[in-house]
Structure 1
């Protein structure tokens, strides 16, 4: 194919799609249909449930609490399903793998690498790889933007400039309270460092994200072929993930499900590192927004609000690092959600003055919606032990017929929800687990506390908020002792999840014991009453579904406490290629992270049909 921009033509070649991604596409059509059916079943179920509850003669607080927690998690799942419906079926395929050929008259590009306190060897690996990218040296520059003001880093860059004259070092100097503002660092480059060399495009790489040699040639064609697209984001692959990725640090659901469906609608969310954008468009909207720590997310919303298209590619084009301790992981996720909470600032000056009023409200609603989801997770996790410990019906049980109707609708609703989760995993080549959109939901309480603490008691970040900063003690990969595990769990904020898990499991066991104790000596004539009692209390299908989700998610910090993830040493994952000084992840490491598959809960998949069938039989018996 050939792209023509103004008077310049570019030769662009399409490569075969990634095998694993391609394998999952045959599930897109059934996934779309099941997603649509699941939303209909959910609507029908809650209309009937709410109607019967409102008109019930006997109403209890357990009934209202049950329908509330059902609705919270069902609504979160519904948002996931509606995104699939909006993306369509056969058209929702991954973006093509393209390569820009030739070396004549290629667009000018600035590669921006902001850093702030990361280890020197980590930054230099990224810088060297960026300098050696396959692109004419006269047409691109590498700008290292150091907000940490590191003298050793400046000296190291000076040495590299002897062989890479297109590499430069820059620092903004002292900015009290804003030293760690990544958005301000990038705006400094966009508005102050591009007068003599004015690039048409800019790429952004985090200091710990090593670009593939063909990064520019793989990303640029998508913007050249689509003049309406102004930003392209790429999936971040991590080469130091522990086996099994117990903390879901790979964020595969975000890239392979959420953002992939948004990409079909040309409104993908920028994930920060590995983005390529049209420089002038970013300047026209005022540069990177500085009112939020999640500047990449906010930039995407602002661009879309101005009518621009944003895209995503999933192929491996950059390789980064994840925090190597539970404490570091929690701190990273807290920072992201603090950034989302800051989106309400879009409604107020001085931020609001630069944005259309409608866009201000869209950004604020998006942030409030994310924070409310955290509130929803917490409410459900707290409510489930209360429901199991209480001794009362969770649905109106005045009529056997109405009980049967509710059970039948509940089985259809839960069954379609599980079928959608299974098909979604299959459509990604089984790179995500079931209900992966709930990953890290066990952190909801910790994240809400972090938002409250930051908003009410902290006006400026203390220390470095940068994930890989050497200022953070949690970036040490040394295996902790048992005592330090508990200290990290408490100080990092995971203890709340551990307590909730213990409370949930304990309440479930107590509820089962109480139910079994009360049924000793039940004769055959009372069998139907017992089944009815069971299905309207602890065996209510949606309650069992929420119980499964709660235990699976809340068990994460417990598992990590008892068996901490083992992160491979960074140096052991890298190897030097033919170009001196450039280190990339080993070939086997790249293959492993590119073809990563999520384990399917076989036991759950066997138990689910049994539970649903038992509920259907129970609906007939009662």
Structure 2
């Protein structure tokens, strides 16, 4: 329980701070300093509608919100010992992770080690067999060597992910906490918008205004980077109802870098300095589509209060409008339920964007919100780590939002993340010692390097995706040997590795869900052309060699024309073929699928010809075993993954309208999502992939047993 301690008063912040480049000019409450006799309520937003260029006319000022009658002061702060914090459970994700899943997750590092140890033996043995083949027959076994290298390159990113996961062998234990009572810290919430639909923004704003938190202890600043007159007008009734709500826009001068989302966030942070009552102790962010849970702040703040070295805590982002079969794997369940939890256990939790809460003084200490990366959230948390502070991940459902409703928006989002990851790594010297990494732990440095390195690896991996089926067209054996014993042992080791690989996938899918894990594996492969091309053109190549800034594909007007997930209003097939098939270069995926199946067909034709020439099926089977039927059949898995965007063009998923997915609170008028996370179902291609993997496992078992018989 709280101890009785004095109320501490923060030193007043001068109200006549000169305006900065990215700040807005306050018309009355900010530009004028009240005399000692004047009463200036800290929650009066009578002048909250602001523009960064000029002051509003007096007629608009007079039409603003009346002064609040609250008596509390925003500048009042409490000693940490005065807060009442209750521990609800030993684990914050007690409602997400079941006890049996928690026990199995602890075994995953051992299974992962076993998988890569087995593959290491298998890979090394194949290299040795190739060397023996060269000594005995004098040839290089060129196709076999190339295939070994290509397969190794494709597995390098997985090896780096596994090394990262192995750095947190101990189970994570973060309690589920709640901050109780009226004595709470002050918070400035920055709600960013940039051209989203106004009704959606208003619902998020209303939800943020109705969280379970004293209204005199937080403020909401709408940071509108679109400077929308329609949004500004639509907010007026809400600002009358909630006097702690502020609107903020900035001018973006052509030719002057405005730093995207990081720029508007910093501009809103600067504004809070000049609001009545001064800045809050804590800052929080919300995206325009992310509807916060009523317990959002009360769930996250206790972790920051308890640990003076903890600077930031982030909740997962879940989505209510994702298709049930989620063909593009937009929900990122593996990241939010497994990888980010593991990163938290090793002290490498990221700022995940929306929903994060962090300490204002730490942000000031690192020089404000970093502006040098499009992954501004990732860079923020990493720089806090570099300054010696901790970051955390709270695995509770505390916000629910929307995935991009078009494949065009999805591709733009993911490629922007890729370039942002590399920009972040560059700013942080790739995790090596430098200005922003001085106080980082080795795990934090390795985390930065791993994500950036694997992003760069999309280029060689994409090239290897083409090399593997190309070798089948070539016609030389992909596995060579000098004795039948070598042949048998290569098949045995391959079979063992494939079976262990599937067992490891079962562990990795806890608790994100097995279906989504399989979908994630497919997305990793079919996104490779987009990621590799974007990294090459938007990060590596100079402009004179074809490099360009990250401005991807089509505009919002094209997305509005598509509406591919609206069953009644979606564009026809011909329009989808043009806008998705051509503009998104899905034709490339179709060509690749044909290339793979053509290569396999050619290999089966050679086997038939061998059987015809030899008069026996055994040489033909041997040919298939060391080529297209070599386990696992990479060409088939790649072809199936590359079919996903092709199938999306012809059979886009259907999602109900946004408001049909809400339950409206009769008291507040807030539309809350009916579910906090979409329950995933099998899609056609995912199910086909699962059947193929099942047949592959049976095939490997038969192959393993058969090597001891024949």
Same fold (TM over 0.5): yes
Rate the CA distance shift 1:225–1:567 in 2: closer, same or farther, 3 A. Answer: same
* Count of aligned pairs: 606
1:8 to 54, 70, 82: 82
Higher RCO, Cα 8 Å, sep 6+? 1
Match of 1:329 in 2: 410
Rate the CA distance shift 1:174–1:327 in 2: closer, same or farther, 3 A. Answer: closer
Say if 2:262 is the partner of 1:159: no
- Quote how far apart the aligned CAs of 1:302 are: 2.1
Report if the CA contact (8 A) 1:119-1:470 is conserved.
no
- Quote how far apart the aligned CAs of 1:511 are: 1.9
Match of 1:540 in 2: 630
2:506 to 409, 415, 422: 422
Match of 1:99 in 2: 178
- The two structures have a TM-score, normalised by structure 1, of 0.88
- Quote how far apart the aligned CAs of 1:426 are: 4.2
Say if 2:189 is the partner of 1:139: no
- Quote how far apart the aligned CAs of 1:137 are: 0.8
Rate the CA distance shift 1:366–1:418 in 2: closer, same or farther, 3 A. Answer: closer
Rate the CA distance shift 1:582–1:19 in 2: closer, same or farther, 3 A. Answer: closer
Give the whole-Å Cα distance in 2 for the aligned partners of 1:261 and 1:5: 33
Give the whole-Å Cα distance in 2 for the aligned partners of 1:224 and 1:475: 47
Report if the CA contact (8 A) 1:110-1:140 is conserved.
yes
Say if 2:269 is the partner of 1:190: yes
- Quote how far apart the aligned CAs of 1:142 are: 0.5
Give the whole-Å Cα distance in 1 for the aligned partners of 2:217 and 2:506: 46
Q: Which piece of structure 1 moves more, 469-478 or 236-245?
A: 469-478
Give the whole-Å Cα distance in 2 for the aligned partners of 1:84 and 1:462: 33
Match of 1:392 in 2: 476
Rate the CA distance shift 1:431–1:142 in 2: closer, same or farther, 3 A. Answer: farther
RMSD: 3.2
**What are the superposed Cα offsets for residues 158-178 of structure 1, whole Å, 9 maximum, x if unpaired?**
321111111101112233354
Q: Which piece of structure 1 moves more, 145-154 or 353-362?
A: 353-362
Match of 1:512 in 2: 604
1:43 to 120, 130, 155: 120
Match of 1:497 in 2: 589
Report if the CA contact (8 A) 2:562-2:570 is conserved.
no
Report if the CA contact (8 A) 1:464-1:471 is conserved.
no
Q: Which piece of structure 1 moves more, 147-156 or 508-517?
A: 508-517
Report if the CA contact (8 A) 1:443-1:497 is conserved.
no
SS at match of 1:256: helix
**What are the superposed Cα offsets for residues 448-482 of structure 1, whole Å, 9 maximum, x if unpaired?**
3234444544766669999xx67964684431211
Match of 2:29 in 1: none
Report if the CA contact (8 A) 2:663-2:673 is conserved.
yes
Rate the CA distance shift 1:8–1:209 in 2: closer, same or farther, 3 A. Answer: same
Report if the CA contact (8 A) 1:117-1:470 is conserved.
no
Match of 1:292 in 2: 373
- 5 Å matches for 1:107-506? 107-176=185-254, 178-179=257-258, 181-195=260-274, 196-343=277-424, 345-346=426-427, 355-356=436-437, 365-366=449-450, 368-430=452-514, 432-434=516-518, 436-437=520-521, 439-455=523-539, 456-457=542-543, 473=560, 476=563, 477=566, 478-487=569-578, 488-506=580-598
Give the whole-Å Cα distance in 1 for the aligned partners of 2:212 and 2:487: 66
Q: Which runs of 5+ in 2 are unaligned?
A: 4-77
**What are the superposed Cα offsets for residues 210-263 of structure 1, whole Å, 9 maximum, x if unpaired?**
111111112222222333221111111111111211110101111112112111
Rate the CA distance shift 1:226–1:549 in 2: closer, same or farther, 3 A. Answer: farther
- The two structures have a TM-score, normalised by structure 2, of 0.78
- Quote how far apart the aligned CAs of 1:181 are: 0.6
- Quote how far apart the aligned CAs of 1:132 are: 0.9
Q: If you compute each CA radius of gyration, which structure gives the higher value, 1 or 2? A: 2
- Quote how far apart the aligned CAs of 1:420 are: 0.1
Report if the CA contact (8 A) 2:211-2:294 is conserved.
yes
- Quote how far apart the aligned CAs of 1:516 are: 3.0
Give the whole-Å Cα distance in 1 for the aligned partners of 2:384 and 2:611: 62
Q: Which runs of 5+ in 1 are unaligned?
A: none
Give the whole-Å Cα distance in 2 for the aligned partners of 1:82 and 1:344: 18
Report if the CA contact (8 A) 1:397-1:536 is conserved.
no
**What are the superposed Cα offsets for residues 480-536 of structure 1, whole Å, 9 maximum, x if unpaired?**
211111112210233322221222123223322332342247566x73x54443322
SS at match of 2:352: coil
Q: Which piece of structure 1 moves more, 386-395 or 139-148?
A: 386-395
- Quote how far apart the aligned CAs of 1:429 are: 4.7
**What are the superposed Cα offsets for residues 288-336 of structure 1, whole Å, 9 maximum, x if unpaired?**
2222211112223222233322222232211111222222221221222
**What are the superposed Cα offsets for residues 179-226 of structure 1, whole Å, 9 maximum, x if unpaired?**
571001111222342244322211111111111111111222222233
Q: Which piece of structure 1 moves more, 547-556 or 318-327?
A: 547-556
SS at match of 2:86: strand
Higher helix share: 1
- Quote how far apart the aligned CAs of 1:139 are: 0.9
- Quote how far apart the aligned CAs of 1:136 are: 0.6
